Amino acid sequence: MPEPDDPHEVYAPESRVDPYPVYARLRAEAPVHPIRDPNGIEHYLVTRYEDARAALADPRLSRDPKHAWEALRRSGLYPEGGEGSEPHMLNSDPPDHTRMRRLVAKAFTPRRVDAMLPRVQEITDGLIDAFAPRGTADLITALAFPLPITVICELLGVPEADRAPFREWSTAALTPTYTEGATMPPHEANRLLREYFTALVAERRRALRSAGDDTEAQPDLLSALVVASTEEGRLTELELVSTAGLLLVAGHETTVNLIGNGMLALLRHRDQLELLRSRPELLPAAVEEFLRYDGPVERAMLRVATEDLEIGGTPVPRGAIVTVGVASAHRDPDRYPDPDRLDITRGDRSHLGFGHGIHFCVGAPVSRMEGRIAVGTLLRRLPDIALDESAGLLRWRPTGVLRGLESLPVRFTPEPSGVT
């Protein structure tokens, strides 16, 4: 690998606030850049759309951490002896990925997702009821976080009394080890999640309904996974609990950022906000534009080249780590006309906000539904909602993969109690 910057400017604090000027320059210079992160991990950053889409679907780029184990261990992302501690489908390649994905899809069915729609609306209304009479709110803590964490916990069957630590564990699991003030290393958060779901899986097995292989008859997603995993080609116990932890974290983190980033984009583009309020049928297209314009994923999870290959004409040697710059690809003018403009009528679902290829997000339908309901309900119930400029500068969470706000202060005309 050519000598990279140390660390690269994409990791600078100012780039966390607005990474798009840096990505624009990198795209113009070359499609692929060798860079180093603050942990010392050297990798190739893919910046242009066509190369990014191809890389996400390239079977020569592995998601299995074992191919970059030493680099990951030295960075602190995994503990000594922790190889293979997270064997879920996001960390695997075929045939293991195919087996796990099939079993998760058997439990995480469209029918189960569709049945949640009235409940998602109910949760959304209840959360807005709590802050609407006040006239001000932090949309992240008041709505964008509690909505998806409640939904995924109810889908999985996590008791309400057990949910308090999940925000800390989820945040820690996604926070790079170089971040100042991190509450715990990512591997410790993942260990706590595994321990919790190990106990909950054992409880579900004891209480499992006698339904044979009918996953639809199970009361929750975790029970359905337990049933599905007893088939031939089953999940191991560690795969099952790791998958449950993955669904919990991935099942809400991207949606938190989708709602937060999407509302921020609208509040900064009042013409688009007013258009969406006047034409709520544009909500599905608006959500797709939020996912592209300032989406919840900035850089995809790292991949490792299992053989020598080329990306955008750049040689990538076997064993090299590759990172797909999703946020950069989404502003590529060769793919999106006027890419720096928010346009909720764009109607383009070709973005990479939920990935591409075999690792496309299994929870995308749930996230899209929650985004539509949350944004649509806010615009309907709080017609003059605006950024609360008195709250000071916006701060962005220091995650290495996701892009999301720590808080989003807003103001609006207080809504009388009892209005929905």
Q: 125: domain CATH number?
A: 1.10.630.10
Task: Tell me: pLDDT of 71 over 60.
Answer: yes
Between 82 and 129, residue with greater pLDDT: 129
Give residue 236's domain range. Answer: 9-411
For residues 104 and 109, give the distance between their C-alpha atoms in angstroms, rounded to a whole number: 9
Query: How many CB atoms sit inside 10 A of residue 161's CB?
Result: 6
Higher pLDDT pick, 224 / 373: 373
Distance CA 84, CA 286 (A): 39
Retrieve residue 212's tokens.
Answer: 């044979």
Rounded CA gap, 153 and 144, in Å?
15
Q: Which residue in 389, 410, 411, 408 sits closest to 397, CA to CA?
A: 408
Q: Are 265 and 335 a contacting pair, CB within 8 Å? A: no
pLDDT, position 231: 67
Average pLDDT of the residues in 40-45? 91
Model pTM score: 0.93
DSSP-derived secondary structure letter, 35: E
Model confidence at 322: pLDDT above 80: yes
Band (pLDDT 50/70/90 cuts) for residue 2 is very low
Instruction: Give domain status of residue 419, yes or no.
Output: no
Mean pLDDT of 268-294: 97
Lowest-pLDDT range, 45-54, 195-204, 216-225, 269-278?
216-225
Share of residues in the chain with pLDDT > 90 (%): 67
Q: How confident is the model at residue 126 (pLDDT cuts 50, 70, 90)?
A: very high
Position 7 pLDDT exceeds 70:
yes
CB 292 within 8 A of CB 353: yes
Mean pLDDT computed over 149-168: 92
Q: Round to whole Å and give the CA distance between 167 and 370.
A: 18
Q: Among all chains, which residue has been given the structure tokens 């080609």? A: 233
H-state helical runs in 46-131: 49-56, 69-75, 96-107, 110-114, 117-131
Rounded to the nearest 10°, the torsion over CA 397, 398, 400, 404 is 10
What pLDDT shows up at residue 83? 67
Residue 142, domain member (yes or no):
yes
Q: Is residue 417 part of a domain?
A: no
Of 242, 214, 240, 241, the closest CA to residue 229 belongs to: 240
What percent of the chain clears pLDDT 70, i.e. is strictly above it?
Answer: 92
| Rounded CA Rg of the chain | 21
Report the relative pairing of strands 321-324 and 42-46 from DSSP bridges.
parallel
Two tokens, residue 273: 């906000």
* Strongest mean pLDDT among 44-53, 161-170, 396-405: 44-53
- pLDDT above 80 for 409: yes
Report the pLDDT value the prediction gives residue 332, as an integer from 0 to 100.
Answer: 98
pLDDT at 279 over 70: yes
Average pLDDT over every residue of 305-323: 96
Within a domain: residue 420? no
Residue-wise pLDDT for 205-224, tens only, equals 887 755 455 667 788 889 98
Within-domain flag for 416? no
Distance CA 316, CA 322 (A): 8
Residues 237-241 have a mean pLDDT of: 91
Number of structural domains found in the chain: 1
Q: Are 332 and 339 in contact (CB under 8 A)?
A: yes
Distances (CA, A) of 14 to 22, 51, 65, 118, 269: 10, 26, 30, 41, 22
* Whether the predicted pLDDT of 38 surpasses 90: no
8 A C-beta contact, residue 143 and residue 268: no
Strands of the sheet containing 321-324, edge to edge, are 32-36, 42-46, 321-324, 303-305, 61-62
The pLDDT of residue 184: 85
Per-residue model confidence as pLDDT tens digits over 246-259: 999 988 999 999 99
Report residue 420's pLDDT band, with 50, 70 and 90 as the boundaries. Answer: low
Closest CA to 306 of 315, 318, 317: 318
Most confident of 37-51, 62-76, 118-132, 213-227: 118-132
Output the pLDDT for position 234: 83
Amino acid sitting at position 268? R
pLDDT at 192: 93
What amino acid is encoded at 285 in this protein? A
When mean pLDDT is compared across 40-54, 60-74, 201-215, the lowest value belongs to 201-215
Among residues 291, 292, 289, the alpha carbon closest in space to that of 331 is found at 292
Domain-located, residue 3: no
pLDDT at 4 (0 to 100): 52
pLDDT of residue 181 exceeding 60: yes
Helix%, strand%, coil% for the chain, nearest 5: 50, 10, 40
- Would you say residue 35 lies in a domain? yes
Average pLDDT value for the chain: 90
Least confident of 79-83, 119-123, 360-364: 79-83
Residue 148 forms part of a structural domain: yes
Q: What does the alpha-carbon distance between residue 399 and residue 67 come to, in Å, rounded to a whole number?
A: 23
User: Is the pLDDT reported for residue 200 higher than 90?
Assistant: yes
pLDDT tops 70 at residue 185:
yes
